[in-house]
A = this chain, B = another copy of it.
């Protein structure tokens, strides 16, 4: 999953910003084209991998699992796999992921309002 070059200025600055600026810290967790959209779809209850895929048609499978993995690592999303075949894997929000909802809502409200005003 894309190895990072630890000793680049870019990466260094990112670390610094993330630890010193809580807003950047949040954006590192929910940034990326698809993460907010994934979180949105999971906010209406847990979904299977294939359900998410169908719900977000433009996303490629690579991007979908990549972001799902990152969201798991950040403890925002929980993966539950039933050991049957064909596989049955569901994704749901963790408590931390659920606590993020008001923040996402606040952002969405500002965004919608701003889009409205600039029309």
Contact = CB atoms under 8 A, between A and B. Distances in A.
Interface of A: 13-14, 16-17, 21-27, 29-31, 33-34, 36-37, 40, 58, 75, 96, 99-100, 102-104, 106-115, 117-118
Secondary structure at the A interface, as helix, strand, loop or mixed, is: helix
Given A27-B30, A99-B110, 8 more contacts: A17-B34, A22-B110, A23-B30, A23-B108, A25-B115, A26-B107, A27-B31, A103-B103
A94 to B, nearest CB: 11
Contact of A110 (B13, B21, B58, B100): B100
B104 A23 contact: yes
Contact of A33 (B24, B37, B107, B108): B24
